[in-house]
Chains A and B, each alone.
Chain A
Amino acid sequence: MTGESYVATRPPGWQGQLGGCGIASCISLDGRTIPGDSIARMLTIMEERENGLGAGYACYGLFPERKDQYCLQLFFDDEEGKRSAEELMAGRLDIVHDEKVFIRRNSTVTPPYPIVWRFFANVPERREWRGALDLSEEDYMVELVQYINASVPKAFCVSSGKDMAVFKGNGYSYEIADLYDIGRYSGTLWLSHSRFPTNSPAWWAGAHPLSLLDWGVCHNGEITSYGVNRKLVEMNGYRCTVLTDTEVVVYLWDLLVRRHRLPVEVAAFAMAPSPYAEIALLPPAERRLAEWVRIAYREAFLNGPFSIIVGRSQPEISLIALADRKKLRPMIAGVSPDGGLAYCASEESAIRIVEPEARTWAPGAGNPFIAAVGKGVLRKGTEPSFQGVRL
């Protein structure tokens, strides 16, 4: 693979990216840990869905010893980027531990490689950020991470959640798995993504999963309403630094579910709502809710083709999978015969390669699949809208 490659620094003239993708995820329903090799096999089998310009993995339930601390994983172009970021964080976070993230010295991935560093931190009691004194712990972290990504040169924070981390870069799925030696990690939820972008240069920080706090999102598709969705997140204080539709999807989940406290099913409906003609057929209480979700969260409606897998660790480690309301991009779900593991992926092959006897099904258009570690599949993605939502 030739062509320019960028790590933490945004490529000059970068205006975003588009293209197709492969996505795969695996969640432990019974609490067993899932080795990284397993997710790498799921992703790499779908090699027709990538062209070597980006791949990545997110692991949840990764740091059981430190699960109450924020894990910030950063890319640095060089030592200077690291110093700048460390200086910024020094007075603003209580960093309890930091370490280099393992990266192989020899790889087929096109250099340059970033310095990848991991910081475990607590948020200090006194949380000031540009005059705002009453920020919640999470909002403070969002401000800090977004500030680093927008303003600290040669540094980019790729993940910042509790009990999770993102491993991604510019290469084929198997190259990135190999580069990070993904098999050395195991967790209870994995997300993964391989890209088929139609543009270059490639940017390590722009690869998926995109993450903020504990939210991790892998996305296959192109949001035709990006300009509208971006307005909503910007109105709510998020700063778009990656300039992709996927980034906006991350912020929308954070806004709707963490900040506005909407149930996941309701947030999913806001992003992939039923047509008004179908809403009109719902029972009265649901109809009223559906109409108002559409009206109030009009700018959260993700139009155009997409399928996404979303991970979070708070309040519990869980996986959400969602396709657009016409289901223009693929999404298949499955459960292992013993019921201990669940999968969501672009292609059935990704599930069969690790679980030949899995029971699979296709979640519906705009219908979320939801599963939580230790709880099982909470929603298959085939139920009526709002089933389980308190009205």
Chain B
Amino acid sequence: MSEGAGAGKRLDHRLPERFVPTIDHDLCRACQRCVKDCSYQALEFRGSRVVPAGGCVACGRCIAVCPANCIEVRPVPPQFAPHGNWSERARRAILAQASSGGVLLSSCGADDDRPAIFDDLLLDAAQVTNPSIDPLREPVETVTYLGRRPGRLEVQDGRVVVREGDTPLIRLDMPLMFGHISLGSISYNAQKALFMAAKELNIVAGSGEGGLHPDLYEYADRICSEVASGRFGIKPEYLKEVAAVEIKIGQGAKPGHGGHLPGEKVTAMISETRMIPLGTDALSPYPHHDVYSIEDLAQLISVLKEATEYRTPVGVKIAAVHNVGAIASGVVRAGADFLTVDGFKGGTGAAPRVIRDHAGLPIEVAISAVDQRLVREGLRNRVTVCAGGGVRSSADMIKALALGADVVMVSTAALIAMGCRVCQQCHRGLCSWGIATQRDDLVARLDPYIASARVVHLFHAWNEELKEVLGAMGIDSVESLVGNRDRLRYRGPNPKIAEVMGVKHIGEGWG
């Protein structure tokens, strides 16, 4: 890039702070634990006091470690002259780009305040004409199978013949899976915690595209291994042992984009696991360069099934884009055993902000579009549909199921359970919680056993809440909720959305 007359001169402006850690000096014991723990160096010890040093991102680490409970992180009031159109956000973006000349990177999901459609959906409950069910007294089932289903059973000579598909089905004890978060974007301890939780919960966890560290092979039977365009670290040793294999075509946070692991995070361990040079940016190509069409995808699916000797289901993950229904249909016809749809608000460890915030389709609409399309084409009972991207609560999960997902993919919420405060600095590799970082001293802060236990707690709680809602609806097994849009009503601002999703408006009954 040419910098013209400005070449060699310092271009960046000093901008107002966004957050400021505030110390109550009456309570502070000057132990400096906060200074030591702040990986963003936003606090310093000057003279006899801890004072803010600028650059606070509100990760909340100082609050958590302060023994005197004397720190508050306060958002700085607006420092820009008010303007209805030129928001502070818009002006900060311009100022940052004018300084750097580059594409703005960010992490976590789209962070603007466009409301989630989930919040515009209300659940049904049983009254009089059917009894609700108390999950504490009667069984309410949440077992879910992942993989290709036969659609029907054959009968020969009066005998029912169970002819399984060419790949097996994977049993999950709850309709949840951890999304794909690579080793690299998160630390070894964080990924280990997810895998441990998946094993304990009897669900699966996505590997992300970073390959699989040899020490984590023991969790292989609960891992869904991602085959992304960079093919980083893919080895037959573990590919044949994993629960499932998933071809990543796209990611909700950055549809049309490849992966991006900043070089700062490519340590010796990452370099070995991914089989890439130390300290270089790991940029996976935008498309798979052997998949330029649906027939290429069919070939890759076949190749992976051959390579894994048909021991695991092979799925395909796509970002939710405007034509997602037709694409999903093509993917199923190409032989995918399961399909994962990742929505607009899905998370990421690093993505160009312009794509994260402006490209894609909300997951709520994408799920119902895929479900309706697969029903219309008679394919829905052959394939498992996984969906995620912005699922924040059990309520979101339940609504995603009712809209048509078999399995709900959750990533950010699991990281929050470990300690993440969603400060959106993952791409900097300085995560003070030891999650989205590769710095040994930071990684050591995350105890994988504790982190795993917290994630297990969260998912157990969500699954219990799912059972409560199913029981209230008079449904005693989760498969009877999947795609049962009759049990949802829309109460948002735009009834057209409800129509597109095949959901009735509030006030519309059926009797």
Contact = CB atoms under 8 A, between A and B. Distances in A.
Interface of A: 15-20, 197-199, 221-222, 224-228, 231-232, 234-236, 243, 260-263, 266, 275-277, 288-289, 292-293, 295-299, 301, 303-305, 325-326, 328, 389-391
Given A266-B153, A301-B477, 9 more contacts: A20-B129, A225-B484, A235-B375, A262-B160, A303-B474, A305-B130, A305-B131, A325-B476, A328-B131
Contacts of B150: 292, 296
A292 B149 CA distance: 9
B471 to A, nearest CB: 11
Nearest to A18: B511
B73 to A, nearest CB: 46
A126 to B, nearest CB: 27
Contacts of A232: 381
Interface stretch (B39-47, B138-146, B331-339, B434-442): B138-146
Residue among B129, B139, B380 with most chain A CB within 10 A: B129
Contacts of B143: 276
Contacts of B484: 224-228
Nearest to A285: B162
Interface string B145-167: 10001111101011110101000
A299 B129 contact: no
Given A16-B511, A224-B480, A228-B480, A235 B160 contact: no
Nearest to B375: A231
Contacts of A390: 157-160
Contacts of A235: 375, 378, 380-381
Contacts of B292: none
A303 B475 contact: yes
B109 interface: no
Contact of A293 (B153, B375, B487): B153
A263 B156 CA distance: 11
A293 B477 CA distance: 15
Contacts of A197: 511
A224 B478 CA distance: 12
A263 B510 contact: no
B483 A228 contact: yes
A236 B485 CA distance: 19
Given A228-B479, A303-B474, A260 B152 contact: yes
A325 B162 CA distance: 23
B477 A231 contact: no
B66 interface: no
A224 B130 contact: yes
A231 B483 contact: yes
Interface residues of B, number: 46
Contacts of B486: 226-227
B444 interface: no
B380 A296 contact: no
Contacts of B126: 224, 304
A19 B128 CA distance: 9
B507 interface: no
Contacts of B426: none
A295 B145 contact: yes
Interface string B455-480: 00000000000000000011111011
Contacts of B8: none
B506 to A, nearest CB: 15
A296 B139 contact: no
B486 to A, nearest CB: 4
B473 A389 contact: no
Contact of B381 (A18, A299, A304): A299
A15 B510 CA distance: 5
Contacts of A303: 474-477, 480
A203 to B, nearest CB: 12
B158 A304 contact: no
B121 interface: no
Nearest to B377: A235
Contacts of A243: 510
A15 B511 contact: yes
A260 B156 CA distance: 11
A15 B138 contact: no
Contacts of A296: 149-153, 381
Contact of B129 (A19, A228, A266, A297): A19
Contact of B158 (A263, A293, A301): A263
Contacts of A328: 130-131
Nearest to B156: A261
Contacts of A236: 378
Contacts of B152: 260, 296-297
Interface string B120-140: 000000101111010000110
B482 A228 contact: yes
Contacts of B375: 231, 234-235
A325 B476 CA distance: 10
Contacts of A15: 508-511
6 contacts: A15-B509, A224-B480, A228-B482, A275-B139, A297-B153, A326-B133
B483 A227 contact: yes
Contacts of B149: 295-296, 298
B475 A304 contact: yes
B169 interface: yes
B487 A227 contact: yes
A134 to B, nearest CB: 18
B381 to A, nearest CB: 6
A276 B171 CA distance: 11
Interface in B339-382: 375, 378, 380-381
B202 to A, nearest CB: 12
Contact of A298 (B128, B160, B476, B479): B479
Contacts of B378: 235-236
A326 B169 CA distance: 27
Given A224-B475, A301-B480, A18 B510 contact: yes
A55 to B, nearest CB: 18
Contacts of A18: 129, 510-511
A390 B158 CA distance: 7
B162 A289 contact: yes
A69 to B, nearest CB: 28
Contacts of A19: 129, 511
B130 A288 contact: no
A58 B139 CA distance: 36
Contacts of A198: 128-129, 511
A288 B160 CA distance: 11
Contacts of A301: 477, 479-480
A222 B509 contact: no
Contacts of A295: 145, 149, 169
Contacts of B155: 260-263
Nearest to B509: A15
A300 to B, nearest CB: 9
Contacts of A20: 129
Contacts of B164: 292
A48 B216 CA distance: 65
Nearest to B171: A276
A260 B154 CA distance: 7
Closest 9 CB pairs of A and B: A225-B480, A303-B480, A227-B484, A227-B486, A199-B511, A222-B130, A261-B155, A224-B474, A15-B510
A315 B504 CA distance: 42
Contacts of A16: 510-511
Contacts of B380: 231, 235
A288 B508 CA distance: 42
A224 B380 CA distance: 20
Contact of B159 (A227, A276, A391): A391
A277 B145 CA distance: 15
A65 to B, nearest CB: 32
Interface in B379-411: 380-381
Contacts of A289: 160, 162
A290 B126 CA distance: 29
